[in-house]
Amino acid sequence: MTAALSLDALWNSAPPADRAFQPDRLSALPEPARRYLEHAIARGTRLASAVRLRMHGEIKLGRWLPFAADQVICWTRGMIWRASTRLHGLPIRGSDRIVDGAGAMRWTLFGIFPVMIASGPDITRSAAGRLAAETVWLPSILCGPDVTWTAPDSSHARAGFTVQGHRAALDLTIDTRGRLEALRFQRWGNPDDTAFREIPFGGVVDAEGAFGSYTIPSRLRIGWHFGTARFESDGEFFRATIDEARYR
């Protein structure tokens, strides 16, 4: 069953990289998009189809709690994020995922007692939005022929593409060197436990790091209502630092 797929199995299912990054082939892209991709990927780098991440940070579950997590993004199939934290001293472990077109969340206390279990079309659509945003950790995907780029000015670029059957439009803020400063898009969700709907989502990149031939956001703050006053007050819920990134 898809829900039982492990991180290792997803990682091992990634097809090998079959193309090299050649900046000369980006001539038709808007200048901010070219600047970003040339900064994120070294010339001649094999364009990876997957990344395996190790991270730590804080997640807001009523209050801020430390977490540690491993994640695999395999573009042809989806992603699995597996994490652990403690609430009132008690261990909570689980995963968020979207694999082969099905999204799910499963979190347990002591690895036994259910804390949160969810699936269905709304969860899948929301997870597809998360996966769209996390292409910034796998920028090779944004070089693909199915990605359309537009740019309203020299500091912003929009990437349009399909994620697990759902269309996404990812707005990136890019500095003069090509460094990613922020990302924003409309994500399907219900952070206030009312009806699912499209809500501004995104975050700020506080630092970047080089992992092999890729330069990606290494510290960022993410949440709902990005670009509004609500982001700082009650939208931000995820602060992550990337400790390791491996590409395949």
Q: Is 231 left (phi over 0), alpha (psi -120 to 50) or beta?
A: alpha
Q: How far apart are CA 1 and CA 245, in angstroms?
A: 27
pLDDT at 4: 67
Share of the chain above pLDDT 90, in %: 92
User: What mean pLDDT, rounded, does the chain reach?
Assistant: 95
Candidates 3.30.70, 1.20.1300, 2.50.20, 1.10.3470; correct CATH number of 30-38+49-243? 2.50.20
159-210 pLDDT, tens digit each: 999 999 999 999 999 999 999 999 999 999 999 999 999 999 999 999 999 9
96-126 pLDDT, tens digit each: 999 999 999 999 988 778 888 999 999 999 9
Q: pLDDT band at 54, cuts 50/70/90?
A: very high
Q: Answer yes or no: are the C-beta atoms of 49 and 76 closer than 8 Å.
A: yes
In the chain, where the domains are located: 30-38+49-243
Among 194, 191, 193, 197, CA closest to 237: 191
- DSSP H/E element including 131: helix 121-133
- DSSP H/E element including 2: none
The predicted model gives 59-69 an average pLDDT of 94
Please return the burial class of 117, using the count of CB atoms within 10 Å of its CB with bins 0-12, 13-18 and 19+: exposed
Whole-prediction pTM value?
A: 0.95
